[in-house]
Amino acid sequence: MSDWSKKKYMGAFVEKCSFLHTDSTCFCPAETSSEARKTQKGLLLSFPSSKQAQGLSQFQRFSLKLSRQAVAFIFFAFGNLADAMKLIYNSVFLDHNTGMHPENRKRLDAFGPLEETEVLDGTPWLNLVHTEKYIEHVRATCQAGADLDRDTVTSAGSFEAALRAVGATIMASETNDFALVRPPGHHAYPSHASGFCLFNNIAIASQKLANEGKRVFLFDFDGHLGDGTSHIFEESDQVFYCSIHQYPAFPGHGRANETGTGKGKGFTMNVPLPPNSGDDIFMDAVATCMQVMEQYNPDVVAVSAGFDAYQYDLLLELRVTENSFFKTGQMLRERSNRIFATLEGGYNVEALPACVRCFLAGINGQENPHPAKDTTSFRMEWESYELRINSTMANLKDWWKFK
């Protein structure tokens, strides 16, 4: 098994279980090494080894088997808290002062007090995606507190915040966590800013993984197309870019026939949703994307986690509830154990924390903490969506199969 196909229990890799199982994929806590058991912080389940069990009576062996099976059930049913996707956050992200701009510090303030993590400086990885000229332009613009474009404002603290947003996303890519950062990144191009984004956090982390030989499925469910990310990977077959977004909306493209170029032809998938699409359409789109993800068989799933598809978001006209973000997390969990995410959009500051927590709960195998009533799309939206999704599948049929 690869390192990432081995589960951990309280931080320790488990070994082969010869008592209850015949293969090497058992994750029973009882089968951790003696040293590993010492690390299990009060959860010491000191079952006898297989050899020791041979000296037990039939009744004792039966009872032991039931005990082990109960432990295994609890482990699988509730997951491993030590391995749960966690938030990576630092208050440096609040120093990106944008005033009354929609992308402002209130988006993170809304989460209340959060445990802070010391995050990396992303400088060493910027040139994986961005040009030196652009990096220096961002530095100078932030020092002056000027705007990078008509949508993307900066302040004296923005450059450091952006560097740390890259660093936090790199960290998340190594620990399967969620980088709760700002400024966001998926609109940023190699040589210019766009759509509130300075550096493309998810693209930098994904390119780093690709350079390490990993196949990355980059799933972007932000309500806007990540046009910077799409551009960066349009010629790559090492990073598959898949986006669900409202169309028409900013940035004005992301149509079904945009499927990549050159070696990357067939490795870009756009699912444009009509305005007023509800949970039913959104989840149908997610399910269609999951079909391709399974066939691509990535080593890592990178998630541009934007929550502006939420039904009361300020910038879009989609009608997605917390339920869909929860279910999306569940569907990803069922298909990969190597997932990381970084925050993109989501501008309803009252709802953003609930949306993020629902996604995390889905990823972590927990219950939906904020269940809502599902929204249903009207016939006109369904008819428009059916045309679009069929076009998406038709444009990709030479590379991928759809049910």
| Angle, helices 279-296/379-396, rounded to nearest 10 degrees | 10
Task: Give me the residue spans of the domains in the chain.
Answer: 3-82, 87-396
Whether the CB-CB separation of 229 and 203 falls below 8 Å is answered with: yes
Give residue-wise pLDDT tens across range 92-127: 999 999 999 999 999 999 999 999 999 999 999 999
- The three-state secondary structure class of 216 is strand
Q: What is the 3-state secondary structure (H, E, C) of 325-391?
A: HHHHHHHHHHHCCCEEEEECCCCCCCCHHHHHHHHHHHHCCCCCCCCCCCCCCCHHHHHHHHHHHHH
Does the pLDDT value for residue 2 go beyond 50? no
Over residues 78-97, mean pLDDT:
85
Give percent of the chain above pLDDT 70: 80
Pairing of strands 8-9, 12-13: antiparallel
The CATH homologous superfamily for domain 87-396 is: Histone deacetylase domain (3.40.800.20)
Region label for 195, one of left (φ > 0), alpha (ψ between -120 and 50) or beta (otherwise)? left
Q: Considering the candidates 187, 224, 231, 245, report the single residue annotated as catalytic.
A: 187
pLDDT digits over 148-177, tens only? 999 999 999 999 999 999 999 999 999 999
For residue 83, the model assigns a pLDDT of 82
Question: How confident is the prediction for the chain on average, in pLDDT?
Answer: 87
Give the model confidence (pLDDT) of 277-327 as tens digits.
Answer: 999 999 999 999 999 999 999 999 999 999 999 999 999 999 999 999 999
Bridge-based pairing of strands 239-246 and 268-273 is parallel
- The yes-or-no answer on residue 245 being catalytic is no
**Position 56 confidence tier, pLDDT thresholds 50, 70, 90:** low
Report the DSSP beta bridge partners of residue 219.
Answer: 242, 303
pLDDT in tens, 184-236: 999 999 999 999 999 999 999 999 999 999 999 999 999 999 999 999 999 99
pTM value is 0.82
Question: And the tokens for 251?
Answer: 């940035």
pLDDT above 90 (res 29): no
**Is residue 40 pLDDT above 90, yes or no?**
no
Say if residues 178 and 305 touch (Cβ distance below 8 Å).
yes
Q: Give the span between the Cα atoms of 21 and 17, in whole angstroms.
A: 6
